[in-house]
Amino acid sequence: MKYKDIYQKPELVKAVAEALHRTTTKNWTLMEVCGGQTHSIVKYGLDALLPPQITLLHGPGCPVCVTPVEKIDRAIALAKDHNVILCSFGDMLRVPGTKGDLLAARSEGADVRVVYSPLDAVKIAENNLQREVVFFAVGFETTAPANALAILQAYRRELLNFSLLVSHVMVPPVLQALLKEPDCKVQGILAAGHVCTVMGTRMYEPLAERYQVPIVVTGFEPVDILYGVQMCVRQLEEGRHEVENAYPRVVKEDGNLHARYMVQQVFETEQRVWRGIGALPGSGLGIRKEYAAFDAEKRFCLQEIHSEECPDCISGLILQGRASPVDCPVYKIQCTPDHPLGAPMVSSEGVCAAYYQYGRGAK
């Protein structure tokens, strides 16, 4: 905790902010990709410390927020209609589907359990051999290694009652989808440090070169974020477009090779639907055919469940940086943490939840 506190010191925040003001001479629009970074920016008011020439857009970096509504409906169907033990991280329980959420399903008698690791779900399967156990595997590249390990452990223990409902997505494809739009305003990107802890920094090099945008890997504390902004702006001011690492105490160029190997062993890239954005080719991770026995969607024939998103929710525009929560006509009115219309209002990394929690926007 003491080490973390260094990166929250007011005097260091002030020093980096002042250096950023000296660096900035032109108007620049940056996008932070990670919802954790968004919450820090809003919580600490970091956007108010930036030079007026800098605009920050919030990107699609909340894994809960981009999980499509049909995945939520499939998870609810598993819990209610197939009598499985559905295991999930707690942040998925209140994400709205078209017929309620997992918390409501549990209140109606479904066996929905909160776990802190997919290996907890493997243990539950081992202790309940007469029941089917499904882990709801959601996340970016960050959580993929642990979910791959869960499948490998279940395979080695011959736990045929264990499977995953997978909704893994990857960052580079969605950034490419945003950057290639002709009206894209993003001139620089703050990349998520935890994703790069696993995958390294090289995966962003083709994007930086192709779209001529600087990409800076950034941490989550106030000093980390402001330092990342400063590095990004310095590149823009100098006419450079490189991948730089502002989080070297955690992120290495090649990432975690062992974790990456496990992901490649169990998963393969596939098309994935993103909530509010749509289907993006090669943007998801699906279970390889060698481990298809652990794919809950195939085991329980869930592919026939298709759902439409709430038409009043503009989360798709918000996740693409094309709108802010305060632009939403139902923000803080019909859509609140107690009655969310979309995932960004209830996720711990959701931008709507951050704006609501820290008092941004109209009542």
Share of the chain above pLDDT 70, in %: 98
Do 214 and 339 reside in the same domain of the chain? no
Write down the pLDDT at residue 182: 92
**Residue 69 belongs to a domain:** yes
**Residue 311 belongs to a domain:** no
Do 120 and 211 reside in the same domain of the chain? no
Write down the pLDDT at residue 3: 60
Write down the pLDDT at residue 1: 47
Write down the pLDDT at residue 245: 97
Do 164 and 186 reside in the same domain of the chain? no
Do 163 and 185 reside in the same domain of the chain? no
Do 204 and 91 reside in the same domain of the chain? no
Write down the pLDDT at residue 348: 86
Tens-digit pLDDT profile for residues 26-72: 999 999 999 999 999 999 999 999 999 999 999 998 999 999 999 99
Do 135 and 261 reside in the same domain of the chain? yes
For 215, residues 6+ apart whose C-beta sits below 8 A from its C-beta are: 188, 189, 191, 204, 207, 208, 242, 243, 244
Do 83 and 122 reside in the same domain of the chain? yes
Do 82 and 162 reside in the same domain of the chain? yes
**Residue 108 belongs to a domain:** yes
Single residue among 242, 265, 288 that ends a domain in this structure: 242
Mean pLDDT confidence for 256-281: 94
Write down the mean pLDDT value for the chain.
94
Q: How many domains does the chain have?
A: 3
Tens-digit pLDDT profile for residues 308-341: 888 999 999 999 999 999 999 999 999 999 999 9
**Residue 250 belongs to a domain:** no
Do 19 and 128 reside in the same domain of the chain? no
Write down the pLDDT at residue 304: 87
* Domain, as residue range, for 163: 65-169+255-304
Do 55 and 162 reside in the same domain of the chain? no
